[in-house]
Amino acid sequence: NNIIVIKNTRIKSKHPHTATYTGAAAALLTELASLVCAAAQPCAQPCAQHVLFISRYTLYTRTWLGYLYYKREMRKAREHYPAGHSRAQPVEFNGIKIIPISVLSDNYSYLVIDTASSVAVAVDPADPQTVQAVLKEEGVMLEAIFCTHKHWDHSGGNKGLKRLHSSCRVYGNATDNIPGLTHPLSHRDSITVGRMQFKALFTPGHTVGHMIYLLDGRTIGAPSSLFSGDLVFLSGCGRIFEGSATTMLSSLDIVGSLSDDTLLWPGHEYAEDNLLFAAEVEPRNAARENKYQWVLQQRGRKLCTSPSTIGEEKEYNPFLRIHSAELHLALGLQQFQDEDWTEFRARVLVELRKRKELYNRR
């Protein structure tokens, strides 16, 4: 009953990134559109739904169909949001400028600029045309691309920007098969660009090779900045596509260990929806309600909600409150007598992800 038959497929292509497609190929692209909403938590027992999800996910991440889907979504977003889905509010500290760039339907890329030397880092430049326009407007040279993970909505612009900036270095974790990768990174590797000093942190779970990037604020007399990709969002965290709950928990613990004044720059504009979910988990959380009212004001003017801070997130982000007794009570969970603390917190994470997936489907 779970066999899928594909027929009447006709695909023509003169270039691996240019294709016309009909029949099953078009159907597969349509199916990929549901990937973003698919359940990521493995089933207790193998089932047809989970097998189908794995098939779709493999098509998206490991075949040219995923690239075609990304290109289609980029074209649609440019038509629907000609000025971007959000208006940026750049932040500058002692000559280091951070510019959020809205791309696709809800993604953020970032330019991090050393204004003294006019060099820049691009984080997850998914739409190379849009990022290049900001580089030109700022009059800076792109020296490096930091890629958090392989998903096309984060990595799809790497090669395009690299063609425009031949000396640009592309950083990421080799495990994730990053497009255009020139400089593979390991946990806690350091990168210097101009006066900016970054540390790469290995945070698997969303993908097997997910990395986040920490700009050290001490060297510039400012708070540090974390570019978190799809690990942590404002009041949320990424789906566990390629790992266990324990793996994801370890990655979230890395974020939770950072200083409270660290600025958080996530990969998506999910703030309003995430805070609504957090209200269902902890309806009496006053910090969440205050942040939600601020987010409503920002989104009412189409303004970016980045950055928040790690300290703020610890107050209202349920995925950074997995240690909280108040959260355990709200979820109706308690630690078993023979269960160690890490196992219990992983079980809390599984419950949160399960509830978030059910919330997303409503």
The tokens describing 329, both together, are: 């009570």
Question: What is the DSSP pairing of strand 183-184 with strand 169-172?
Answer: parallel
Examine residue 172 and state whether it is found in any structural domain, yes or no. yes
Whether 86 is covered by a domain: the verdict is no
Among 48, 80, 112, give the residue marking a domain's end.
Answer: 80
Give yes or no: residues 189 and 42 share one domain.
no
Arithmetic mean of pLDDT, 153-170: 98
308 and 285 fall within a common domain: yes
Asked if residues 260 and 224 have their Cβ atoms less than 8 Å apart, the reply is: no
Q: Could you give the percent of the chain with pLDDT greater than 70?
A: 86
* Domain assignment of residue 65, yes or no: yes
- Inside any domain, residue 85: no
Residues 70 and 102 in one domain: no
As beta bridge partners, residue 215 has 198, 225
Q: Which long-range contacts (CB under 8 A, 24 or more apart) does 339-342 make?
A: 342/246, 342/249
Give the residue carrying structure tokens 């409270």: 260
- 120: CATH: 3.60.15.10
The token pair at 55 is 């098939």
Task: Just list the catalytic residues.
Answer: 149, 151, 153-154, 206, 230, 268
Residue 279 and residue 197 in one domain: yes
Domain co-membership, 73 together with 167: no
Instruction: Give the length of the chain.
Output: 362
Q: Which of 50, 80, 110 is the endpoint of a domain?
A: 80
Same domain, 32 and 75: yes
The number of folded domains in the chain is: 2
* Residue 50 predicted with pLDDT over 80: no
pTM for the whole structure: 0.88
Q: Do the beta carbons of residue 356 and residue 277 sit within 8 Å?
A: yes
Final residue in a domain of this structure, among 80, 101, 122: 80
For residues 266-295, give the mean pLDDT. Answer: 98
Cα 275 from Cα 316, distance rounded (Å):
8
Q: Evaluate whether residue 72 is within a structural domain.
A: yes
Please determine, for residue 38, whether its predicted confidence score (pLDDT) is greater than 60. Answer: no
My answer on whether 18 and 144 are in the same domain is: no
* pLDDT grade for 31, boundaries at 50, 70 and 90: very low
Helices 48-62 and 23-32 cross at an angle (nearest 10°) of 100
Residue type, 147: C
DSSP line for 52-115:
HHHHHHHHHHHSHHHHHHHHHHHHHHHHH-TT-SSB---EEETTEEEEEEEETTTEEEEEEEET
- Which region among 45-54, 133-142, 283-292, 311-320 has the lowest average model confidence (pLDDT)? 45-54
In a domain, residue 310? The reply is yes
Q: How many other β-carbons are positioned within 10 Å of the β-carbon of residue 186? A: 11
Per-residue pLDDT averaged across 342-356, rounded?
Answer: 98
Q: What is the pLDDT of residue 3?
A: 30
Q: pLDDT per residue over 213-241, tens digit each?
A: 999 999 999 999 999 999 999 999 999 99
Predicted confidence at residue 5, as pLDDT, reads 31
72 and 219, same structural domain? no
* 36 and 116 assigned to the same domain: no
- Average pLDDT in the 259-277 region? 99
Q: Are residues 70 and 188 in the same domain?
A: no
Claim to verify: residue 68 and residue 121 sit in the same structural domain: no
Q: Is residue 273 part of a domain?
A: yes
- Grade residue 48 by pLDDT with cuts at 50, 70 and 90: low
In a domain, 4, yes or no: no
Give residue 53's domain range: 10-80
Strand intervals (E) in 53-166: 91-93, 96-103, 107-114, 119-123, 141-146
Whether 248 and 349 have beta carbons less than 8 Å apart is answered as yes
96-103, strands of its sheet edge to edge? 91-93, 96-103, 107-114, 119-123, 141-146, 169-172, 183-184
Q: Is 30 left (phi over 0), alpha (psi -120 to 50) or beta?
A: alpha
Phi-psi region of 118 (alpha: psi -120 to 50; beta: other; left: phi over 0): left
The answer to whether residue 350 scores a pLDDT higher than 80 is yes
pLDDT at residue 49 tops 80? no
Examine the domain organization and report whether 57 and 150 are in the same domain: no
